[in-house]
Amino acid sequence: MNLNNKLILTIDLDAFFASAEELRHPELKDKPMVVGQELNGRGIIVTANYKARELGIHAGMPLFKARKILPNITLIETDHEYYQTIANEFFNVILEFVDKVQVASIDECHIDATELTKDYKPIEIARMIQNRVINKTGLSTSIGISTNVLLSKVASNFDKPFGISTLYVHEIQDKLWPLPVKEMHMIGAKTSIKLNEIGIEYIGQLALLKNDLEKFNKAKGVIGQNLLKHIDAANGISSDEIQVETDRLRSISRDKTFPISIVDIESLLLNIRELFNFAVFRCEKRKLAPTSVSIALKVDKSFSTFSTSKILKAATIDKNVLWPIVVNAVEKLFKPNASIKFASVSFGGLKPIEKVYVQTTLDGEKTKSKSKLQQIAEKASFMSGIEIVTGSTMEDNIRYEQKEPIMRDNIKFKVWDK
Ligand code: DCP
Ligand code: CA
């Protein structure tokens, strides 16, 4: 690999919705199964597990056709909220390896892994990621390796499922050009058919179009102004910059170094509540709401930093949702007998506030007996002048769509020395 080149990986989950269903229904693992929605006997398959694919059943096929192949094929109804939660777990595993992830779709991302090439070969990096994802989430991935986003994406489809493939620039002629144009990123099915009609069937023909003015002009009639971009793409020219959504990039945080180390969780929570309030205040002022919450603590004696992040299923600025997440995180990080020197609260993945969902109910909150921690949290809340709203009072807060953000398990836990 040219040393000036970056190492870009595309990581794609295999048969995602079906694999996610197999996680919670392991008994389906060895059977042909499809995910989709059926209404009055009609429906389209959204994805099929690999057992079903072996029988020729695939995404986009009407259910009745799949049933002709296998009359009693298992159909699972789609559950997007669940898939998003599982996808977030996946992205968080990837974030253990790199700081930035370009989320390309619900089950696919691009990363710049150049930094890791100091210690590992590209194939070793991909294998490590693949193993980590499957061990941590139970999900199988396929990984494409290259020097830019487009080529790594194409490569990620070469050897599914659980494959790792390269598509470096010097491999383009052998591996990319023989593929049909419909395999080209951003060329849709309809455009491919039109290109086929004017005699452009393979990516290689698209790549060399500048040598044939007549065909070039015809292709321009089909694709329009973007033709040059597509020709570049067919020649493997694409960005090697990982694009993180700008609002995902931004974070708002507040931290504090304590003049006297804190040894009890009650005082710690009181201090963290202040940091939390300030961070929420700044979010509100900028009309932004977080999709992730991170807490970091530094311990006095060892100078170690403990941090944990949680990704929310939906952005929210509702303190009644965010504060319990913070409390939960602090509870996980805090160790008895530890003296805490520093704490920070950070909100990431900020979204414009008008797109935010506000939680409307906290079912069962009133009937549940309160844990000691919850009591402390409420005390902290009271002392900082913020009321914890529970039960029916929450109903008054319906502002947008009724949707309950999901709290994830601890997904990132880093320890490092100062
Ligand atoms: N999906 C969808 N509608 C589409 C395409 C996909 O709802 N038109 C969903 C179902 C897929 C998920 O998105 O499980 C990911 O899409 P992929 O194209 O990556 O397909 P799979 O992950 O299912 O299969 P593969 O193993 O080929 O990646
Ligand atoms: Ca996929």
Q: Render each residue's pLDDT in the chain as its tens digit; 418 residues.
A: 444 799 999 999 999 999 999 999 999 999 999 999 888 878 899 999 999 999 999 999 999 999 999 999 999 999 887 887 788 889 888 988 987 888 888 899 999 999 999 999 999 999 999 999 999 999 999 999 999 999 999 999 999 999 999 999 999 999 999 999 998 877 888 899 999 999 999 999 999 999 999 999 999 999 998 899 999 999 999 999 998 754 444 678 888 889 889 999 999 999 999 999 999 998 888 888 998 898 989 888 766 778 888 888 788 999 999 999 999 999 988 988 889 999 999 898 888 876 444 333 333 233 333 444 455 444 444 333 332 322 222 222 222 222 233 333 322 222 222 2
Residue 354's pLDDT is 65
Q: Where are the alpha helices (DSSP H) in 183-262?
A: 189-197, 203-207, 213-223, 227-234, 246-249
As residues whose CB is below 5 A from the ion ligand 2, the structure lists 12-13, 16, 107
Q: How much distance in Å is there from the Cα of 101 to the middle of ligand 2?
A: 16
81 is catalytic: no
CA of 212 to the centre of ligand 2 (A): 36
**Distance, CA of 141 to CA of 94 (rounded, Å):** 11
Taken in order 283, 289, 292, 293, the sign of the CA dihedral is: positive
Would you state the pLDDT for residue 152?
A: 97
Side chain identity at residue 323, one-letter code: W
CA 177 to ligand 1 centroid distance, Å: 24
What is the pLDDT at residue 370?
42
- Among candidate residues 21, 22, 89, 108, the one labeled active-site is 108
Nearest-CA neighbor of 62 among 78, 39, 32, 28? 39
Pocket of ligand 1 (CB under 6 A): 12-17, 46-47, 59, 106-107, 160-161
The closest-lying atom of ligand 1 relative to the alpha carbon of residue 17 is 14
Choosing from 10, 16, 91, 137 the residue with most ligand 1 atoms within 8 A of its CB, the one to mutate for a pocket test is: 16
Q: Whose CA is nearest to atom 20 of ligand 1?
A: 15
Rg (CA), the chain: 25
The model's pTM: 0.65
Q: What is the pLDDT of residue 83?
A: 87
Give the pLDDT score at 357: 41
Residue 15 Cα, ligand 1 centroid: separation in angstroms?
6
Ligand whose nearest atom lies closest to the CA of 106: 1
Q: What ligand is nearest to the CA atom of residue 20?
A: 1
Give the pLDDT of residue 245.
58
Q: Where are the beta strands (DSSP E) in 189-317?
A: 252-262, 288-289, 292-299, 305-311
